[in-house]
Amino acid sequence: VDLAIANWKSFVAARAAFQRLRETVVALSQAVVPMQLPAPARYLKVDKITVAAPVTGQVLLSEVGFDLKAGTALGLIGPSGGGKTTLVRALTGIWPCLRGSVRLDGAELAQWPEAALGRFIGYLPQEVSLLDASVEENISRLSDESDAAGVVAAAQAAGIHEMIVRLADGYQTQLG
């Protein structure tokens, strides 16, 4: 009885966490998958977005906007806590915008299937983390049907193909 009383808070917390997990799984299973749109080819438009931290609700970015044409790049530099990561989270759809919009060729991010966004939006974080998988699997993002030519083309575009083929197991070298 003493042990049950001592662990009651943990039991209640675990039950509440399980309920939240169940609700999330149900919500995800009922989510509508957006229609596949043509690959974006013209521009990215960030129109006066305001972003808040999901847990605290604290506004971290306010009224940020810019246009980026296809074939151009954007570098974000600034002090720690300046909003760089928050902006990237909004640009990739990880965090929702309270106001404003992020659009690829005119379509808001919510109109794109999540799997498609990963092929069109990329960023290089301050600290790079690789998955516990092979070089090929890391480049193909653990795709079930890896495209060897695409993997090699991506490595060549990044300037790392020569380095990879010099590894003992080449593209099959395990990382982690």
On whether residue 104 sits in a domain, the answer given is yes
Between 112 and 29, residue with greater pLDDT: 112
**pLDDT greater than 80 at residue 155:** yes
Runs of H (alpha helix) within the chain: 2-6, 8-30, 84-91, 114-120, 135-139, 148-158, 161-165
Q: Are residues 61 and 109 in the same domain?
A: yes
Q: Are residues 83 and 52 in the same domain?
A: yes
Which CATH number fits the domain that encloses residue 48?
A: 3.40.50.300
Residue 99 pLDDT class (50, 70, 90 cuts): very high
pLDDT (tens digit, 9 = 90+) per residue, 108-131? 988 888 778 877 877 777 777 888
| 82: helix, strand or coil | coil
On whether residue 38 sits in a domain, the answer given is no
Domain range for 17 is: 1-31
Total tally of structural domains belonging to the chain: 3
Q: Are residues 116 and 84 in the same domain?
A: yes
